[in-house]
Chain A
């Protein structure tokens, strides 16, 4: 299993790891250039990073976001390999083991794949305990373990499911799905049924982050700009899920093109309700902890960004790399604007760009 999954993963992503390493190292060298930290060996920079991570909430959030992205990357990697014909032999070999042994096998594979994160997370925990702030370390470890368990289980289910059957059947919660207008909810239903890995990792990260924001607010009142930035981060964490939804709509909802709707209903068609539902857990976290007002501001802003990512994916011809790169650049600009207090401008700006992108290319166009 090590040769089948772990070796190829690290070989394929060696460049990314090098880039991240240089990025971290470079950022601290830059700080050193400014004269705020003494120079030393590379180990020192990691040490500094760890201390920074466990003493500053922004780094915790950054680490959680990067971890979510990394875990998602590992899942996509294993998923694509399992889909290859040459890996079909795993069904006849690994697939004959008992469920428990198979799952354990996948868990070990996922631990190996997540090794860089785990080492950092464990070091963070140690430093957090040492600095008397164990919560940040514990949050990082819990998130990482949840992610690893989720991805391992999804890999396990993918190998074991009978061809043509879905990985996870849709939970009914006693609701009669027949009564619902499934068409208007198809994006969110698609995400639940067909993209559970992306959805679970994203939602765990964003819900955890929302809870952390509340914790920090209770500990020492946060500046309103920190809340605004956090809303941008939460919505940006959904970028992969929204991209998948957008691609699904493009591939399977072509028949819906050209519906006789006015521009605004066309613009909100399908995605409006679904994205509200997608963001509901974060809203509930804030409402239940007594920050309903902030929650409603947050969900409105996040919804705007999701709509933007939805139409922007189509505009970029569903190139995930292009979306991530350009999305990141736009987000950097948005961050700067928010730091200057222009949060409303950012939210409206995202919506306006989404509108123009939609007018250029999407469903229901006349």
Chain B
């Protein structure tokens, strides 16, 4: 469970202001116009940005125990950046060494992403789609309870999108991993029972029923 308590974030002007919100186990699709604060919200929940108020992850305060919260929450950035001189494979190995081996098999996702073809090349030679795939692979390492994906489908080809949707559903159903996914697209495959569509507008978060 992730709780937002008096959460607010402002740059020059306030961007997000959520008095209270609770994310129970599930898959959440987060929608909102450009600049509505989706990435800011996800980055704050991942402990990458400072903010006012507090965020509790499974009862642990993100501000007081950021290390424990980072173990519970994985994050894939919308526009990922990595040191260009490393290869993707080295980075995946580094993440597996530090975060631990995942209980779920990654083979299908690796195949769906056609990752073996590019993982051994230096990251500086990657296209934006490859970078996105690498960021997603890294977010799936370890054994987190929550995975936050910022615009994960942008720049992916259709095969990869299908592989990612299938993998997210599998992790949710078999391994009880919850997701918050910021995306502009519709994803009917992800919108099964217990999943929720959220909209971030006017600095506030609210549930959205497309019907």
| Surface stretch bound by A, among B25-33, B88-96, B168-176 | B88-96
Give the contacts of B41-82 with A (CB-CB under 8 A).
46-50, 62-63, 66-67, 70-71, 74-75, 77, 81-82
Question: Which of A8, A85, A95, A96 has most B Cβ within 10 Å?
Answer: A96
A132 adjacent to chain B (CB < 8 Å): no
B37 adjacent to chain A (CB < 8 Å): no
Question: Which A residues are in CB contact (< 8 Å) with B48?
Answer: 88, 91, 163
Question: Which B residues are in CB contact (< 8 Å) with A7?
Answer: 85
A321 adjacent to chain B (CB < 8 Å): no
Give the contacts of A71-96 with B (CB-CB under 8 A).
85-89, 91-96
Q: Does the CB pair B85–A3 fall under 8 Å? A: yes
Q: Which of A4, A8, A96, A165 contacts B70 (CB 8 A)?
A: A96
Question: Which B residues are in CB contact (< 8 Å) with A165?
Answer: 50, 63
B16 adjacent to chain A (CB < 8 Å): no
Residue in chain B with minimal CB distance to A11: B85
- Could you tell me the distance in whole angstroms from the C-beta of B137 to the nearest C-beta in chain A? 12
Q: Does the CB pair A87–B83 fall under 8 Å? A: yes
Residue in chain B with minimal CB distance to A105: B98
* Cα separation A98 to B94 with both chains bound (whole Å): 16
Question: Which A residues are in CB contact (< 8 Å) with B99?
Answer: 92-93, 96
Cβ proximity bits B145-189 to A, threshold 8 Å, 1 near / 0 not: 000000000000000000000000000000000000000000000
B86 adjacent to chain A (CB < 8 Å): yes
Q: Does the CB pair A162–B63 fall under 8 Å? A: yes
Q: Given A3-B90, A162-B50, A162-B62, check contact A86 B84 (CB 8 Å).
A: yes
The size bracket of the interface on A is: 20 to 34
Q: Which of A3, A4, A85, A91 contacts B47 (CB 8 A)?
A: A91
Q: Does the CB pair A99–B67 fall under 8 Å? A: yes
The 4 closest A-B pairs by CB, nearest first: A164-B50, A86-B81, A163-B50, A93-B98
Q: Which of A8, A88, A96, A160 contacts B71 (CB 8 A)?
A: A96
- Could you tell me the distance in whole angstroms from the C-beta of A52 to the nearest C-beta in chain B? 40
Q: Does the CB pair A86–B83 fall under 8 Å? A: yes
Sample of 15 A–B contacts (CB below 8 Å): A4-B86, A8-B85, A86-B81, A86-B82, A87-B83, A88-B81, A91-B48, A92-B70, A92-B74, A93-B138, A96-B67, A97-B98, A161-B66, A162-B50, A163-B50
**Secondary structure type dominating chain A contacts:** helix
Q: Given A4-B86, A86-B84, A162-B63, check contact A93 B94 (CB 8 Å).
A: yes
Question: Which B residues are in CB contact (< 8 Å) with A8?
Answer: 85
* Cα separation A98 to B85 with both chains bound (whole Å): 27
* Cα separation A96 to B98 with both chains bound (whole Å): 7
- Could you tell me the distance in whole angstroms from the C-beta of A211 to the nearest C-beta in chain B? 38
Question: Which A residues are in CB contact (< 8 Å) with B82?
Answer: 86, 89
- Could you tell me the distance in whole angstroms from the C-beta of B5 to the nearest C-beta in chain A? 15
Q: Does the CB pair A92–B75 fall under 8 Å? A: yes
Cβ proximity bits B90-114 to A, threshold 8 Å, 1 near / 0 not: 1100110011000000000000000
- Could you tell me the distance in whole angstroms from the C-beta of B173 to the nearest C-beta in chain A? 24
* Cα separation A4 to B66 with both chains bound (whole Å): 23
Beyond known contacts A91-B47, A162-B66: 7 more, CB 8 A cutoff: A3-B85, A86-B82, A86-B84, A89-B138, A91-B48, A92-B99, A162-B63
Residue in chain A with minimal CB distance to B139: A92
* Cα separation A201 to B70 with both chains bound (whole Å): 31
Q: Does the CB pair A163–B98 fall under 8 Å? A: no
* Cα separation A87 to B99 with both chains bound (whole Å): 16
Residue in chain B with minimal CB distance to A89: B82
* Cα separation A164 to B66 with both chains bound (whole Å): 13
Residue in chain B with minimal CB distance to A3: B86
Q: Given A160-B67, A162-B63, A162-B66, check contact A92 B46 (CB 8 Å).
A: yes
Residue in chain A with minimal CB distance to B71: A96
Question: Which A residues are in CB contact (< 8 Å) with B75?
Answer: 92
* Cα separation A85 to B50 with both chains bound (whole Å): 15
